[in-house]
Homo-oligomer: A and B are copies of this chain.
């Protein structure tokens, strides 16, 4: 089924059908209706490939996700869902590419085969070869997280430094003097993974500013690591009275560790984190946390569409700093 067939059956030329569809020139009401009737009858829709070839754009966005072999965190997956949803609202489709490093076949196909009008890149490293690759091709892209020199590129990110700092200040205000940070994994920190590094930076600075004692721990993205991490903390730093964390995935393990140590939150220990609302609400007691917004994917899509529309516009960034929602996991420091 193609436009020529519609034209034939409606007794008009192909261009008339095309114009009736696009509205880019006036078509008499009568012809328009006749054409529409045929279209409805045959359930015709223009061939996307032909249109893309002619127009030079695909109405498709590429979303580069970490390879599934590294099990995606809940936060990453929610992000994917929100991107797809936001794109659909703008009548864009989303093409997924699971590629970690560069030189990935699927990444190359998407980037250089003109399969997409723009790309969203997740899980950015401070030095990221894929960013260079995209800059060279000239394909519009937006990153989630930013690289070492963030001025040149378009990105949306969470201000982990500020958010962790806020948690620290909140805990300090409650009288806590010894605070621990449960960060992401050692490997991520070593690999130059921005969120982990900035969380640490914000923690260190706030702790220093308030004259507190800080302990920072790396922790894998899973409950078992969380439990181990908490045990280690209680063992080596028993005088810590508050914890701040950016590691959602470890949270259940942390909770288990607390239960096993018979610690009552917030009586014995306060916790504040940077965490998605549903994780915070699933914690017992509900976790005081900077609520990671669900609409980050939507912001990324908005930025990307804007960049596609105005390729020469100066780079725009979005550094999100959601407020800390006070729940029940933080309280006055225990007086010993």
The chain A residues found within 8 Å of chain B, CB to CB, are 43, 45-50, 52-53, 58, 60, 65, 67-69, 71-72, 74, 77-78, 80-82, 84-85, 88, 91, 93-98, 105-106, 108-110, 112-115, 137, 222-224, 252, 256, 259, 278, 281-282, 284
Contact = CB atoms under 8 A, between A and B. Distances in A.
A113 B81 contact: no
A252 B282 contact: yes
A109 B93 contact: yes
Question: How often does this chain occur in the complex, in copies?
Answer: 2
Contacts of A46: 113
B85 A81 contact: no
A85 B98 contact: yes
Given A85-B69, A93-B109, A95-B60, A49 B53 contact: yes
Nearest to A256: B284
Q: Identify the interface centre among A47, A49, A71, A105: most chain B CB within 10 Å of its CB.
A: A49
Contacts of A281: 224
A96 to B, nearest CB: 5
A96 B85 CA distance: 10
Given A43-B112, A91-B109, 18 more contacts: A43-B137, A45-B108, A48-B109, A49-B53, A49-B58, A65-B81, A65-B84, A68-B78, A68-B84, A72-B81, A80-B80, A81-B98, A88-B106, A91-B106, A93-B97, A93-B110, A95-B95, A222-B278
A282 to B, nearest CB: 5
B91 A105 contact: yes
A51 to B, nearest CB: 8
Nearest to A105: B91
A256 to B, nearest CB: 7
Nearest to A81: B68
Nearest to A68: B81
A135 to B, nearest CB: 13
23 contacts: A45-B108, A47-B113, A47-B114, A48-B113, A49-B53, A49-B58, A49-B114, A49-B115, A52-B52, A60-B95, A67-B85, A68-B78, A68-B82, A68-B84, A71-B78, A72-B78, A77-B77, A77-B80, A88-B98, A88-B105, A95-B96, A222-B282, A256-B284
